[in-house]
Amino acid sequence: MTDPRPPAAASTAAHALLGVLAANGIDRVFLVPGESYLGILDALSDFPAIDVVTCRHEAGAGFMALVDGRLTRRPGVVLASRGPGASNAAIAVHTAQQDAVPMILIVGQIPRRDLRRGAFQEIDYQAMYGTIAKWVCEVTSPDQIAEATFRAIRVATTGTPGPVVLVVPEDVQQQVVPCPAWQATAHVPMRPDEATLSRLQALLGRSQRPLILAGGQFDVPGGRDALRRFAEHWQCPVVVSFRRQDLFPNDHPLYAGDLGLANPAAQIAAFADSDLILALGTRHGDISSQGYTFPSVPVPAQTLVHCYPDDRVVGQHHAPQLGVVGDAVTLCGLLLGPPPASPRTGWCDRLRSLHRAWATWPERDPDDGIDFSRVVRAIERESGDDLVLAVDAGTFAAPVYRHFRWRPTQRLLAPLAGSMGYGVPAALAAQLRWPGRRVVCLVGDGGFLMTGNEMILAVERRLPILFVVSNNASYASIRIHQDREYPGRHRGTGLFNPDFTAMGLAFGMPAERLEHADAVDATIARCLRTDGPRLLEVRTSLSAVLPAPG
Ligand SMILES: Cc1ncc(C[n+]2csc(CCOP(=O)(O)OP(=O)(O)O)c2C)c(N)n1
């Protein structure tokens, strides 16, 4: 491996910053350039091993960095200019916080001599990002830049992973400083003491109706296998947290579904009938806890065990009988003692059949376009085990969460924060990281015009992504809310759209429009077989997702 550091003579603060990033495995940054960080841009020329991905909007760059961070578990890095650039990147900082993904936003700042004068494009980033970033650091002393970068990496990746904002005034970037190559090592997972393990063992052995709520912490190498072995050993049904359907094989007899935005009341009632809830590797926040109602706050009716590597999360909303501040994957590996005395077949079957009834594919034949669930179903049927599905926010995605049966190695990338504009950049970042996998992006006509411009990267870098644009001429998710709250009044949710197929062609990729339901299966099969990048516009039915007129 080549030394990531530049020659000592070129050691500016910008080099020190990049040197620490490179020493910690960061091999790619996403950016929109700005005059406020010319020093860092220049220093990037001395780090040829860092791939520079030039983007069209800081939201797109931020989402790409976020997904890169999610896939590598190292901080995804995005560079943005001061003021306007940093403002555009805010959506990614918020999403990184909500999705618990390590990310570093590096912002060029006005020169130190003008700080706090309200100078051109100046922002006080502590005030702006203080509540959504884990840490905001304005480095006003060049000597501290390496230390601040090193700490940024550690803050972003430890406890609940999240975003850090590193602000570097432009005159700091060119100062000559030493260039260290400190490497942060991962924390040793905390091992619960023997007394805690025996207590857990006893709880698991005794329970008649245990239930695992599994969260994103299992999204690490070996994590899914550890979860499956643990569940099988204890004959314990598994429910995955919000938008984490790919954590557990969906055709497994112990898979009991997910905690999302639309669980049927009977299913939640059945979950609540559990006598032992094991919330493992999950923050069990707003959506997963069904708006802080499952289990009840602050003291659950069931015995609750909560394991997460952050003492601010364990017990934050729900008081567990047993709170373990630690690594859920490690815990699963330690708890494989004597199996339960009696099988829990009745309990497992009950949850399983409730889930299967809810997950059955719908049969709809609307006359105003294609029911998008047919498209998702065709992707499920025609995809291999290498599928990575990057999904934007919108109602077109509902079948992905409800009906799609995820296989063990397939991956779902969806924003827990519900941020529109995530899908296209997520697909790009995933395909850059995993060139050999089949990446498909699902995006609505609303979300596509937010960050769809980034799609040009797929043409530039020959990334074989299939972009599927669901065109229902509407911000339909919001229209559904309108129809529920204010029936028939649709102000602001209709969309006048460009020709998306022509857009795909103009970007330089093959593109086609899918207009008839009976062509769905063959078109999806063909698109998945051909090498992308490729755009498929689907004329999607609006009526299929709206409540029937009352
Ligand atoms: C950045 C952002 N802006 C607004 C919203 C609110 N919102 C959620 S879904 C949605 C509509 C999505 O429309 P579209 O992409 O066309 O998909 P559809 O719901 O029509 O399938 C909106 C506006 C959001 N979640 N994120």
With CA atoms as reference, report the closest residue to 65 among 42, 19, 31: 31
Report the run of H or E that residue 152 belongs to, with start and end.
helix 145-157
Per-position b or e across 286-308, b if 16+ CB within 10 A of its CB: ebbbbeeebbeeeebebbbbbbb
DSSP tally for the chain: helices H, then strands E = 21, 18
Output the pLDDT for position 323. 97
State the residue for tokens 């970042």.
429
Rounded to 5 degrees, what angle do the CA atoms 101, 105, 106 make? 155
For 432-457, give the DSSP string. Answer: HH-TTSEEEEEEEHHHHHHHGGGGHH
Nearest CA to 351 among 457, 448, 233, 240?
Answer: 240
Nearest CA to ligand 1 atom 4: 420
CA 474 to ligand 1: nearest atom? 20
**C-alpha torsion 285→291→296→297, nearest 10:** 60
163 pLDDT band, cuts 50/70/90, is very high
Give CA–CA dist 202/87, Å, rounded: 52
Distance 304 CA to ligand 1 centre (A): 35
How far apart are the CA of 140 and the centre of ligand 1, in A? Answer: 39
- Residues 12-37 have pLDDT tens digits of 999 999 999 999 999 999 999 999 99
Tokens encoding 258:
């997910």
Dihedral (CA of 200, 205, 210, 214) sign: positive
Closest by CA position to 414, among listed 535, 246, 256: 246
pLDDT band at 550 (very low <50, low <70, confident <90, very high): very low
- Alpha carbon of 497 to ligand 1 centroid (Å): 15
Share of the chain above pLDDT 90, in %: 93
- CB of 269 within 8 A of CB of 296? no
410-419, 441-450, 537-546, range with the lowest pLDDT = 537-546
Three-class SS state of 512: strand
CA of 478 to the centre of ligand 1 (A): 7
What pLDDT is attached to residue 548?
Answer: 61
Average pLDDT over all residues of the chain: 95
Residue 2: pLDDT band (50, 70, 90) is very low
Pocket of ligand 1 (CB under 6 A): 393-396, 418-421, 444-447, 470, 472, 474-478
Whether 3 shows a pLDDT value over 90: the answer reads no
Ligand 1 pocket test, candidate residues 396, 477, 490, most atoms within 8 A of CB: 477
The continuous run of DSSP H or E covering 536 comes out as: strand 534-539
Residues 6+ apart with CB under 8 A from 547: 480, 483, 484
The pLDDT assigned to 342 comes to 77
Gap between the Cα atoms of 492 and 509, Å rounded: 32
Which atom in ligand 1 lies closest to the alpha carbon of residue 91? 1
Residue 190's pLDDT band (cuts 50, 70, 90) = confident
User: DSSP assignment, residue 304?
Assistant: E
Rounded distance from Cα 444 to ligand 1 centre (Å): 8
Distance (angstroms) between ligand 1 centre and the Cα of 368 equals 21
Instruction: Work out which ligand 1 atom sits closest to the CA atom of 475.
Output: 13
Mean pLDDT over 525-548 rounds to 91
Res. 8: pLDDT tops 80 = no
Q: What's the 448 CA to ligand 1 centre distance in angstroms?
A: 10
pTM (global) more than 0.95: yes
The residue nearest atom 20 of ligand 1, judged by CA position, is: 476
> Which string of b and e fits 150-174 if b means at least 16 CB within 10 Å?
bbbbbbbbbbbbbbbbbbbbbbbbe
Gap between the Cα atoms of 423 and 425, Å rounded: 6
Which of 93, 370, 396, 420 to mutate for ligand 1's pocket (most ligand atoms within 8 Å of CB)? 420
pLDDT tens profile 460-505: 999 999 999 999 999 999 999 999 999 989 999 999 999 999 999 9
For the cut 80, the answer to whether the pLDDT of residue 546 exceeds it is: no
| Burial class of residue 327 in the structure, from the number of CB atoms within 10 Å of its CB (0-12 exposed, 13-18 middle, 19+ buried) | buried
Which pLDDT does position 188 carry in this prediction? 86
Residues pairing with 214 in the sheet: 240, 280
- For the stretch 47-76, pLDDT in tens is 999 999 999 999 999 999 999 999 999 999
Å from CA of 546 to ligand 1 middle: 15
| pLDDT tens string 75-113 | 999 999 999 999 999 999 999 999 999 999 999 999 999
Question: Measured between alpha carbons, how far apart are the two ends of the chain, in Å?
Answer: 67
